[in-house]
């Protein structure tokens, strides 16, 4: 196997960007803290949803490296589910080596909801507790640990 130029180690997720139509921002007077406000207990319309697989620090970095022409791989975990398959397919489409991706049974792939309103976003996250075990690393030039 060809030596790996860039190896990312870290979680990936599928992000669903939900473009919110009807909300407002409430900022506190004495701090810079602001809150996204939606009508409580109501049906809140949204404009669109765009799901993007294999994102996160490691996923984003390894795809960038591969697109720059580096022989790139990722060490990560996904669930043995539809979203895990979508993440793998996306990485492979970008020519990322996926042989170090572990698929875990009975665990869901990380799936985050990105509430996108105006020019900013709030992310709802839930990280799956995978059975992490460090692997014997191949010969690599650069490692990105996140």
pTM of this prediction? 0.90
Burial 42-68 (b: 16+ CB within 10 A, else e): eeeeeeeeeebbbbbebbbbbbebbee
Residue 108 DSSP one-character state: P
Question: pLDDT tens per residue, the chain (146 residues)?
Answer: 679 999 999 999 999 999 999 999 999 888 889 999 999 999 999 999 999 999 999 999 999 999 999 999 999 999 999 999 999 999 999 999 999 999 999 999 999 999 999 999 999 999 999 999 988 888 999 999 99
> Are 135 and 75 contacting, i.e. CB atoms less than 8 angstroms apart?
yes
CATH number, domain of 58, equals 3.40.1190.30
Range of the domain at 139: 4-145
Q: In the chain, how many domains are there?
A: 1
């Amino acid at each position: 196997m060809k030596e790996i130029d860039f190896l990312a180690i870290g979680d990936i997720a599928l992000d669903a960007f939900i473009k919110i139509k009807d909300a407002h921002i409430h900022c506190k007077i004495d701090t810079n803290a602001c809150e996204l406000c939606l009508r409580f207990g109501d049906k809140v319309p949204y404009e669109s949803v765009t799901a993007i697989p294999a994102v996160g620090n490691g996923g984003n970095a390894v795809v960038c490296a591969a697109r720059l022409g580096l022989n790139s791989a990722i060490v990560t975990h996904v669930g043995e589910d539809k979203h895990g398959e979508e993440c793998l397919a996306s990485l492979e489409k970008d020519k990322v080596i996926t042989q170090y991706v572990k698929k875990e049974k009975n665990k869901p792939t990380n799936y985050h909801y990105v509430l996108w309103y105006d020019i900013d976003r709030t992310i709802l996250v839930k990280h799956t507790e995978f059975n992490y075990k460090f692997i014997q690393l191949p010969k690599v030039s650069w490692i990105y640990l996140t």
